[in-house]
Structure 1
């Protein structure tokens, strides 16, 4: 899923769940920032203070990350949560919608609903949770499940993977290009490109196990939205059995489904802008207001407000001055939520179901 869902739809769901605008923005921002937090390592301050960060995503153009053995430590806990079903390690690492592990992850987050960064933790969890629908049948580890052959869509011609790679990473030597392409086709949904993230897409492919896979995204996205709404309500009330709470109203479902189906741009930023415009017009039943802008990087971003760093490229070039406001910042709270989420998923949740990835 892209920012139109991770930020726009999650904001809508939080507001429909009666969270105030500030809280809804925090939840939605944290949910989307999982895709935009690509800088890892220690942030050193000028006075000697330091803060440890763990990237929750890799930039698509940074193809070296695809071949790193540590990639699974990002993709599995944040984007392709293993369902831990099956007999072999490979089978257990496949991501499946609303899996047992996904529901346990949500319940653990609900138990943390009084933490100072609880809303940030909820946003991180919701990102992973809804992605179990979008990224189903793929894996965050190198796997034949991620091979995509005979890719077809109602809206696209057969896709040229190497052509797309050239757009992402630039022109590189043929041998390197082919090697990278071979690895990308076995990690995550790289070989399916952006089709898993388009709300309206209907597509099909044959995976590396010669299994024919049919996908219709819109019903899956709507189920993800409904279950995310229940998770938000569960977090709000402290009820761990969130699956049994009431979902979206029929009117809210219909209006949201119409919006996701009819906004057909392949540019996720355009889809998010359209969604924001429609919310301002009152197109979502029960909600009519301006949606706050999402700023990923630069002035106005969580990172800039906390540190003064204006981009990933300048991170580390000049050490920022630590100030007490850093401890209360969304940036610090988000990164602590990322570390807490990763520690639970990789150190407790997955090993308890027979999968050890870190």
Structure 2
């Protein structure tokens, strides 16, 4: 999913479910920051304390900067939560929408609702849970099971101009990375999704992340069709799942909740309309904003969704370099995010997945 869903859609679902504005803003920021937080650097404080960053996103652009452990420690837990179906490890690591593992992850994270890092943890939870409704059928490791016949994409019920725009994106990818669609050894690749057709949904470009697409393709190994991937319908399921997550959190943390909330059935039509909008990302963001200010998304009345400010949390971290007192980091949202990311990663990789027989790291 992209920022229109991970931030604006997440904020909308949190507010509709009765989460207070300030809490919803932290949750939504954490959900999108999960995609923007690639730093692994540590900060040494003058009093001897140290803060280790918890990277939740792939190292960007330059292949030489990509850590070989990114697949196991970032892609698998934060973006392609395994569905645990099939006979072989590479099958079991394939993400499945709303899987039993995903539901167990949600329950565990909700059990930590009383912790100081609960709000960013709910954002991370929302990101990972939502991604299961977009990334299903692909895994966070380099695997032949992620490979797609490049000429097999088909789009249903799409505006001709929008298809032209999408085909242009596909062509640009092939021109920029002509050699990156080839075979890569299972699990051992050092390439990020952007550079590889064998890692994540790299071979499918951003098609899984576009809410309005109805599409299909052919996997290379094993040879099989994907069936129709109805993104609008699947994303609608995802929005309903997020709404329920936030209702459960509101019940557990009434200090973060309003007295009024909207049932998902009350806003389903409005959400469905947004998801079906065939438009570039900036216009999809505008659709969420318009619905929040003129529609009936929130029981408390119309309001503007605050703009996403990823640099706020990046700047918080950078400003710590000049800090003498390491204990002051506890007051910062970005530190709570790092706490939440560490707890989440440890639980998924060391407890949840091994309990299902999946030992990734």
TM score, norm. by length of structure 1: 0.84
- In 2: Cα distance, 1:190 partner to 1:202 partner: 18
- In 2: Cα distance, 1:230 partner to 1:308 partner: 37
What value does the CA root-mean-square deviation take over the aligned residues?
2.8
- In 2: Cα distance, 1:151 partner to 1:13 partner: 31
Aligned to 1:163: 172
- In 1: Cα distance, 2:12 partner to 2:179 partner: 46
Q: Secondary structure at the match of 2:276?
A: helix
Aligned to 2:332: 329
- In 2: Cα distance, 1:160 partner to 1:251 partner: 36
Aligned to 2:113: 113
Deviates further, 319-328 or 190-199 = 319-328
Aligned to 1:189: 201
Q: Secondary structure at the match of 2:127?
A: helix
* Partners of 2:30 and 2:337 within 8 A in 1: yes
- In 1: Cα distance, 2:317 partner to 2:225 partner: 48
Q: What are the Cα deviations for residues 120-162 of structure 1, in whole angstroms up to 9, with x where unaligned?
A: 1111011101110100010011112211211232453657867
Does 1:93 find its partner at 2:93?
Answer: yes
Deviates further, 67-76 or 126-135 = 67-76
Aligned to 2:234: 220
| C-alpha spacing 1:160/1:306, structure 2 compared with 1 (3 Å) | closer
Post-superposition offset of 1:288: 1.1
| 2:276 pairs with one of 250, 261, 267 | 261
- In 2: Cα distance, 1:159 partner to 1:65 partner: 28
TM score, norm. by length of structure 2: 0.84
- In 1: Cα distance, 2:9 partner to 2:169 partner: 31
- 5+ unaligned residues in a row in structure 2: which ranges? 157-161, 185-190, 254-260
Aligned to 2:26: 26
Structure 1: which 4+ aligned runs deviate by more than 4 Å? 64-67, 157-162, 174-183
* Partners of 1:31 and 1:127 within 8 A in 2: yes
- In 2: Cα distance, 1:40 partner to 1:355 partner: 25
- In 2: Cα distance, 1:285 partner to 1:51 partner: 38
- In 1: Cα distance, 2:170 partner to 2:108 partner: 38
Of structures 1 and 2, the one with the larger relative CO (CA 8 A, separation 6+) is: 2
Does 1:343 find its partner at 2:352?
Answer: no
- In 2: Cα distance, 1:73 partner to 1:196 partner: 22
